[in-house]
């Protein structure tokens, strides 16, 4: 069995490739929940929903948020009523979020997501990293901001001084799933706001040490491929490069996949990680996604 640790953009791209070559029944995905919160009266677990839609072939893979070809009738009506939404939620996407909110009256988040993935015909397990509510604050030069305010209202523009998030306990399936895995893939997700929250859960690092762990770097050169990862890494004093990412994961990482453009890092990376794979890591189309997935699986098997 293969387990993937995921956020909501880079790793879902890779999942589109992995799902073409791995039997979905043999795949589990542990997803970041740090940014989950209530918006517009519904529970929003953006990364989980992105993974659900990716695995159900419904994802809007231009924005990596919401459902492809969704309509926005409710969102537009709310704006007309002078109650504009911070998150632009589509109508079909809103149904997913309403259903999850309803399910969560009687079930944990983990159980609710399991019910939803089955109803969407997804055979892979999708496991929220935690059932507990968490908080993440971005400390910036204009003050302390909620994560979504930083990302959407301020378009990730403020200078970031620190990123702080609350401690939560792992959901029931997390440790067990990692322990039962033949390998764990850390996708190219934001190391600070998507992966660090998962690996900081009690028992996760210890479980990862006992299995083969392979990570794809979300950083090429000295910048992230997209999003604010480089700002967050800099704020935490982590070098913005694949070396910085490797330093963060080195206690349990066996194999690191970096982009062709970073081949000059091979020697330095080799000092802290057993094996380095150099390839194209930019996933612009399905061929590139499948190709990267195949290289990762080959790396695990060798």
Q: Which stretch binds ligand GDP (CB under 6 A): 74-82, 115-123, 154-162, 185-193?
A: 185-193
Q: Which is nearer to ligand GDP, 185 or 216 (CB)?
A: 216
Phi first, then psi, for residue 160 (nearest 5°) are -95, 130
Q: Which of 185, 167, 183, 95 is nearest to 130 (CA)?
A: 167
* Closest distance of CB 185 from ligand GDP, Å: 13
Of 2, 4, 8, 130, which lies in the binding site for ligand GDP, with binding defined by CB under 6 A?
8
Judged by CB under 6 A, the chain residues 38 through 57 that form the site for ligand GDP are: 47
* Residue 77, marked binder: no
Of 225, 256, 265, 276, which lies in the binding site for ligand GDP, with binding defined by CB under 6 A?
225
Q: Which stretch binds ligand GDP (CB under 6 A): 10-18, 115-123, 204-212, 263-271?
A: 10-18
Contact status: 24 vs ligand GDP (CB under 6 A): no
Q: Which is nearer to ligand GDP, 117 or 289 (CB)?
A: 289
Contact status: 242 vs ligand GDP (CB under 6 A): no
Does residue 240 contact residue 233 with C-beta atoms inside 8 Å? yes
Contact status: 299 vs ligand GDP (CB under 6 A): no
- Residue 193 DSSP one-character state: I
Of 22, 229, 243, 278, which lies in the binding site for ligand GDP, with binding defined by CB under 6 A?
229
In which residue are the tokens 């997501």 written? Answer: 113
Between 263 and 282, how does the x/- string for binding to ligand GDP read (CB under 6 A)? ------------------xx
* Residue 88, marked binder: yes
Q: Which is nearer to ligand GDP, 79 or 164 (CB)?
A: 164
* Closest distance of CB 224 from ligand GDP, Å: 3
Contact status: 227 vs ligand GDP (CB under 6 A): yes
Stretch (H or E) spanning 28: strand 27-31
Contact status: 224 vs ligand GDP (CB under 6 A): yes
- Residue ranges that bind ligand GDP, judged by CB under 6 A: 7-11, 13, 47, 188-190, 193-194, 216-218, 224-227, 229, 281-283
């Amino acid at each position: 069995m293969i387990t993937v640790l995921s956020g909501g953009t880079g790793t879902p791209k890779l999942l589109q490739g992995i799902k073409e070559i791995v039997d979905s029944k043999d795949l589990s995905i542990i997803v970041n929940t740090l940014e989950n919160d209530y918006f517009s009266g519904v529970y929003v677990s953006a990364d989980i929903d992105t993974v659900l839609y990716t695995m159900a072939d419904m994802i809007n893979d231009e924005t990596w948020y919401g459902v492809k070809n969704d309509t926005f009738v409710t969102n537009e009506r709310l704006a007309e009523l002078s109650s504009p939404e911070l998150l632009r939620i589509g109508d079909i996407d809103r149904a997913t979020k309403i259903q999850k909110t309803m399910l969560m009256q009687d079930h944990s988040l983990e159980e609710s997501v399991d019910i939803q993935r089955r109803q969407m015909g997804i055979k892979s397990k999708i496991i929220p990293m935690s059932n507990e509510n968490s908080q993440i604050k971005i400390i910036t030069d204009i003050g302390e901001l909620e994560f979504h305010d930083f990302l959407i209202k301020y378009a990730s523009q403020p200078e970031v001084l620190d990123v702080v998030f609350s401690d939560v306990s792992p959901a029931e399936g997390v440790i067990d799933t990692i322990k039962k895995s033949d390998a764990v893939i850390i996708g190219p997700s934001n190391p600070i706001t998507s992966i660090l929250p998962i690996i900081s859960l009690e028992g996760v690092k210890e479980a990862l040490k006992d299995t083969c762990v392979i990570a794809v770097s979300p950083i090429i050169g000295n910048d992230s491929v997209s999003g604010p990862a480089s700002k967050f890494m800099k704020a935490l004093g982590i070098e913005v490069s694949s070396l910085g990412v490797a330093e963060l994961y080195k206690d349990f990482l066996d194999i690191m996949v970096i982009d062709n453009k970073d081949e000059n890092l091979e020697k330095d990376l080799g000092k802290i990680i057993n094996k380095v794979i150099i390839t194209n890591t930019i996933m612009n189309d399905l061929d590139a996604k499948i190709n990267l997935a195949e290289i990762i699986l080959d790396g695990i098997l060798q």
